[in-house]
Amino acid sequence: MASESSQIYHERQRLQYCLLHSLNNLFQQKNAFTRASLNAICEKLVLEEPNKETWKPLSIVFKPHHNALTGNYDINVLIAALEEKGKEVVWHDRRNGSSSIDLDAPEDTLMGIVINASVRRIAGLWDSRHWVALRKIDGVWYNLDSDLRAPQSFKDTDEVREFLDYIIGCSGEVLLVMNQKQL
């Protein structure tokens, strides 16, 4: 990846709020989403669930769609949050590799890409998942990973494809964030 840009909005990782950070980085806006708004989505999802779980003492912390103390939001929260903003999430078919993704699609079609990758933390002792946003800004694709000190630009779409193929090869998930067509 090439250089970084100071004009690009970029939130850094705190606790397990990588979904919150990736959404704000994707929208290029502080507080496009907040902990409160994502927690409200979680509560709404619980109310809409057909198979409600019974309450357990750990339910205070370990909620169905997130951890109340540290974040760690799930895919359902991502989809609901993006739908609230008029976006559609398309799960990329990993069998096709990244070559089937139109990275040159106009911004009014493809807003960006969200990745859910497997990561090892705490000296490799703890496996978890991490949300990362990629977005094309002013014709350049950026990795907006909240674990990075600053956004990193890709030199071209071939480098983006290599990165996505690496993620797919490591059991990562690639989600395309599409702007819904205006009726």
What are the pLDDT digits (tens) for 59-99? 444 445 444 445 577 888 889 999 999 999 998 988 888 99
106 Cβ contact list (under 8 Å, min separation 6): none
110-121 and 173-179 strand pairing: antiparallel
Query: Is pLDDT larger for residue 160 or for residue 146?
Result: 160
Sequence length of the chain is 183
CA-to-CA separations, 23 to 48, 99, 169, in angstroms, rounded: 23, 24, 24
Give the model's pLDDT for residue 82.
94
For the domain made up of 18-179, the CATH class stated in words is alpha beta
Residues assigned a catalytic role: 18, 130, 145
d(CA 26, CA 22): 6
What is the maximum alpha-carbon separation in the chain? Answer: 50
What pLDDT is recorded for position 133?
Answer: 96
What is the rounded CA–CA span in Å between residue 37 and residue 30? 13
How far apart, in Å, are the Cα atoms of 158 and each of 102, 134, 154? 12, 14, 9
Strands 140-143 and 152-153: antiparallel
**pLDDT interval class at 181 (50, 70, 90):** low
